[in-house]
Amino acid sequence: MGVGPSRGLAVRPAMTTDRQAVGTGLLLVLVTALVSGLSTFVNIYAVKGTSSDAFVTVRNLVVAAMILPMFALTAGRRLRRSPIGRTDLLRLGLIGLLGGAIPFLLFFHGLQLAAAQHGGTTASFFYRTLFLLAAVFAWVFLRERPNARYVAGAVVLLAGSYLLLSLNSAVLTDGTVYVLAATVLWAAEYTLSKATLSRLAPSTVALGRMGFGGLFLAAYLGVTAQWGLVGRFSYGQWEWVGISAALLAAFVATWYAGLARVELGVATSVLVLGYPVTWLLFVAVGAATFSTEEAAGAVAVLAGVGLVVGLSRLRASWAWLRRAKGLRGSPD
């Protein structure tokens, strides 16, 4: 995908044309995808036996606290040069609402409803279209133009997700609508965050998402009189909160640092790699089968991401990794 001139929500071309920056960004987003796959697996077990609203609120507040030291270490010098203004605060608050609050409530509630009505697989597939929604938003607001390679990769990614999820019959439920709404909000938030990253440091945007989002969630628990549910958490549930929070903190830390360097459409496509990771983890614990169809889906996801990213960017990422490890290869 290409990036047009900076205007409105568009980002600075230099953020996505520098090969070294793109190589670094792709590796960061790849780490995000791996963390995402592990997080999805963990959260299936983490929310069992507890209120998803209470769990998400406490978990997100813990994540905000985890991000504070990173924010203090990395954003201080940049903030001294360019302090956060009123418009920046409004953007960060909106990022928190659209990315760190409402979609979490919708997503977990939607999955519970969909699973109860045998529509969990369909709901999951709708969530896997996030990269397409983000690409549309990026086209409209960031002026990222998809090329033929991206379109081909997107088709392969959809086909791989279809096979990987074994979507034999579409069951549309109320939960599916909740999940789709959450997916749209996350795609919108990523678009706004991408534009905001042209001015603010990744750690600032990450803290805005989780900090403001946590405050909105805390207010929601207060209005709905659910804070008492937090006091009923068992020791084991608090352990799950800690594990899930650590994974989410790793997700936002690597995601926004990568998104600052890579186009939105490409970055969200790389995130699809998290789905084969989740599937393999379920296979490892005996909660899913290793079928030829699903294995073909995982391979298709890998191929689709490769098409979207492109050979030159893969080479840039590999070159950066070699330099980081101090390796010396023979000249090509």
Q: Residues 48-66: pLDDT tens digits?
A: 888 999 999 999 999 999 9
- Give the CA angle between residues 118, 122, 126 to the nearest 5°: 145
pLDDT score of 329: 47
pLDDT of residue 10: 46
The answer on pLDDT for 137 being more than 80 is: yes
- Is the Cβ–Cβ distance between 290 and 168 less than 8 Å? no
Mean pLDDT of the chain: 87
Confidence of residue 270 (pLDDT cuts 50, 70, 90): very high
Residue type, 164: L
Please say if the pLDDT value at position 15 is more than 60.
no
| Residue 36 neighbours by CB distance under 10 Å | 24
The span from the CA of 62 to the CA of 56, in Å, is 10
pTM: 0.88
Share above pLDDT 90 across residues of the chain, in percent, rounded to a whole number: 62
Token readout for 47 is: 């929310």
H or E element: which one contains 37? helix 19-46
Per-residue pLDDT, 168: 53
Domain edges within the chain:
2-324
Q: Which contiguous run of DSSP H or E holds residue 2?
A: strand 2-3
Statement: residue 310 has pLDDT above 70: yes
pLDDT value of residue 281 = 92
Does residue 230 surpass a pLDDT of 70? yes
